[in-house]
Amino acid sequence: MLRRLAFFLGIPALEPESCFLWIHAYILFPVEHMYNGLTRFFRNRDQLKTLEYLVIPEIVKKKEGYDNPVLRIWSAGCSTGEEPYSIAMLCREILPVNFTIRITGTDINSASLATAKKGFYSAEITSDVPARFLERYFDVKPGGFRLRGSIRDTVRYAQQNLTAGSGLSRQDIVLLRNVNIYYDKSTQQEILNEVRKSMDSCSYLFIGEAESIFGLHAGFEFVYTDWSVLYRKC
């Protein structure tokens, strides 16, 4: 079986044990770590500008007059938490004080989620986090920084396979950045269907800069802004 797989993949002729080690080193190990999601705080500043100057103001306007308005955001494939925490800090800066922020971060990797829940990061984040945010939202700890409870408590984390359904509803914003790029078209469609089910009317979807939903039956309209592109649920 290993030799047939090796022939199919173009692996040099090797003994079974060596063949297994080759497959693990060059195929299985990279795939496993593909889902460990390298990320950082305030990644893709142009998309964050779109969020700050277009998306959040539109949602605030939509919910004017609501009693106890809530902004619901889903960070899908959130890895170690930098993305949802970045959004939480940004929302603290710009949302009206009467709004409640509810952010859900999901990922398939339990180790990444454990790191996210702790909210502790190395000193290297100083190159990505604006100084004023470090001062307002982080405490200095030996070896790095820990997010204060006011931000950590804004984000709820859950382990999730994206094709299995999120259990979420009425999400105003979904961030599905650099996730679907790893899947075939059929799985991309399945994930997109589940994401759309979770979204409120006139809500917004962000995907990665290198990604596209072209060719999928999406149910979204394309939105072009001065900073980046995104999608609105039709």
* pLDDT at residue 117, rounded to an integer: 98
| Axis-axis angle for helices 2-9, 16-23 (nearest 10) | 50
What ranges do the domains of the chain cover? Answer: 2-33, 41-233
CB 179 within 8 A of CB 162: yes
Name which of 156, 162, 187, 183 is nearest 108 in CA terms: 162
Work out the end-to-end distance of the chain between its first and last CA atoms, rounded to an integer number of angstroms.
Answer: 48
The dihedral formed by the CA atoms of 162, 165, 166 and 170, expressed in degrees to the nearest 10: 120
Q: Mind listing the pLDDT tens digit for each residue in 79-132?
A: 999 999 999 999 999 999 999 999 999 999 999 999 999 999 999 999 999 999
* pLDDT one-digit tens code per residue, 138-176: 999 999 999 999 999 999 999 999 988 889 999 999 999
CATH class as words, domain 41-233: alpha beta
pTM of the predicted model, to two decimals?
0.83
